[in-house]
Structure 1
Amino acid sequence: MILVLSGTSDGNGLIRELVSLGYRVLATAVTPYGAHLAREAGAVEVSQGELDKTSFKELVQKKKVRAVIDATHPYAEKITSIAQEVAEDVNIPYLRLRREFAPVPQHPLVKMASDWEEAAEAAARAQGNTVFLAIGSRRLEVFTNYEGLRKKRLVVRILPDRDSLEKCLKLGFWPRDIIALQGPFSYELNLALFREYKAEVLVTKDSGHTGGLLEKIQAALDLKLEVILLRRPPEPPGLRLEEILKVLEQTCKGVFKG
């Protein structure tokens, strides 16, 4: 069994490729929707929910996992660290699927932030009253709790799942300020949403080509929005899909197929 840490379109594409080649795939996903997409991609089993090191190791040993492929989002640092540690502990390969960077436009309106708190501070300093948060739901409390943003309107774009919506409501977002859609989004849709919600500041993550970063930033710049971009955290060395397949074939000698 090969374990794929998924929850991204990259991960689901990897699952489909592995299954098409005859590999048996066990996938992980945090949300029910992510688990559904992994099953649709062909995973024979899916572990749903967050994993700590103990539960991750138990999963690997119980399912006789012989290789771990990490296709999580670049900002999912915790599970990446756990996967590396467990793979080393049980002496199986850990492979990171590379997510290609998108060249960030050099523009006076694009400001870089090193962490979430710096991003919230930059949003508070920015001109304009409406801040469009295209960051998902996991770190929204950093912005809702930031004193300098209390008098600004925060609009959030999240995945259309129950947990994300419930979190937004608990944090005090009005329904009119919640956009529940699955990305990535085209330039035209970003442009329409920024206009519709009268956005003046965009806060987003460096999600690369797969995450539609360039379409998002270009739409914001064309409307003269200030863009606050959270830097991508350091990642382990990654491999392209064809490189991962080659390593599996050489290292596993086909034992996962069938």
Structure 2
Amino acid sequence: MSPHVLILGGTAEARRLAATLAARPGVRVTTSLAGRVTRPGALEGDVRIGGFGGAGGLAAWLRAERVDALVDATHPFAERITANAARAAADTGVPAVVLRRPGWRPGDRDRWHPVPSLSAAAGLLPDLGRRVFLTTGRLGLAAFAHLTELHFVVRSVEAPEPPLPPDTRVLLARGPFTVPDETALLCEHRIDVLVTKDSGGEATSAKLTAARDLALPVVVVRRPPLPAGVSAVPDVPGALEWLSGP
């Protein structure tokens, strides 16, 4: 029987891993997407869309589909999915690993303000500026809705979910973005402060370079920690090496 690898996807790394595995003879690969993006790109191998119903549902699926290995390649802030995956893997004995790209690191000229949550980020903003470039995704913006005196420029792939701050302009766009484009955007909208999650990777890092060059403060929401005892690899080669075994 062909080995079956389940990838919890939604990232560029998950897409590359699926393509590599699907090209290997005798390997069955399934990518699971949460369904939060309505028009996901094409994926190699089998694809399922929608949640499993928690750790118990995922464990049942792992057993029913005879999954041999689980790779959690979700977004670094998909905390609940990662916790459920770790529990389901432990309950079923299916080997599992988390594929997490490294986080960003500030340089000497960066003016970063690390915070543990979106609500903590919102608490800092009145002291940092009046015009905010908010790039934390379309979920969780309620944390900023009470900031009625600030102007927000919100960028996300799809329309953000309400409630939003009352003075908000929404930009729908998908990365990668270039430094010149990000610099132009910050200048055009007269941005005082950038807010972002530490998602890592190059596709959306140009805004950090632009903010550095313009000497703007950046509020960076730190990643949630991985569940205790969970193994992690930083990239697709690392995941492939893990799948190959000792």
Interval containing the TM-score (normalised by the shorter chain): 0.7 to 0.9
Q: 1:156 aligns with which of 154, 157, 160?
A: 154
Aligned to 1:238: 232
Measured after TM superposition, the shift of residue 187 of structure 1 is 1.1
- Report the CA distance shift for 1:136/1:50 in structure 2 as closer, same or farther (over 3 A): farther
Is the counterpart of residue 222 in structure 1 residue 213 in structure 2? yes
Q: Which runs of 5+ in 2 are unaligned?
A: none
Letter of the 2:164 counterpart? L
More helix by share: 1
Measured after TM superposition, the shift of residue 248 of structure 1 is 2.3
Q: Give 3-state SS (helix, strand or coil) of 1:245's partner.
A: helix
Measured after TM superposition, the shift of residue 36 of structure 1 is 3.1
Aligned to 1:247: 242
**Aligned residues of 2:135 and 2:197 also touching (Cα < 8 A):** yes
More strand by share: 2
- Report the CA distance shift for 1:35/1:84 in structure 2 as closer, same or farther (over 3 A): farther
Is the counterpart of residue 143 in structure 1 residue 144 in structure 2? yes
Query: After superposition, where does 1:8-157 map in structure 2 within 5 Å?
Result: 8-22=11-25, 23-31=27-35, 33=37, 36-37=40-41, 40-49=42-51, 51-107=53-109, 109-126=111-128, 128-144=129-145, 146=146, 149-157=147-155
Letter of the 1:125 counterpart? D
Using the alignment, how far apart are the partners of 2:123 and 2:183 within structure 1? Answer: 25
CA displacement 1:157-195 (0-9 Å, x = unmatched) = 1113xxxx1614x53667x70011112322122112212
Q: 2:161 aligns with which of 167, 179, 187?
A: 167
Using the alignment, how far apart are the partners of 1:63 and 1:57 within structure 2? Answer: 10
Q: Which runs of 5+ in 1 are unaligned?
A: 252-258
**Aligned residues of 2:196 and 2:219 also touching (Cα < 8 A):** yes
Using the alignment, how far apart are the partners of 2:32 and 2:210 within structure 1? Answer: 33
Aligned to 1:2: 5
TM-score, scaled relative to structure 1: 0.82
Using the alignment, how far apart are the partners of 2:11 and 2:224 within structure 1? Answer: 17
**Aligned residues of 1:97 and 1:244 also touching (Cα < 8 A):** yes
Using the alignment, how far apart are the partners of 1:220 and 1:4 within structure 2? Answer: 34
Using the alignment, how far apart are the partners of 1:101 and 1:184 within structure 2? Answer: 17
**Aligned residues of 1:134 and 1:158 also touching (Cα < 8 A):** yes
Letter of the 1:220 counterpart? A
- Report the CA distance shift for 1:115/1:15 in structure 2 as closer, same or farther (over 3 A): same
**Aligned residues of 2:144 and 2:165 also touching (Cα < 8 A):** no
- Report the CA distance shift for 1:226/1:20 in structure 2 as closer, same or farther (over 3 A): same
- Report the CA distance shift for 1:202/1:131 in structure 2 as closer, same or farther (over 3 A): same
Letter of the 1:198 counterpart? R
TM-score, scaled relative to structure 2: 0.86
Aligned residues: 238
Q: Give 3-state SS (helix, strand or coil) of 2:7's partner.
A: strand
CA displacement 1:81-103 (0-9 Å, x = unmatched) = 11010001001101111312332
- Report the CA distance shift for 1:172/1:43 in structure 2 as closer, same or farther (over 3 A): farther
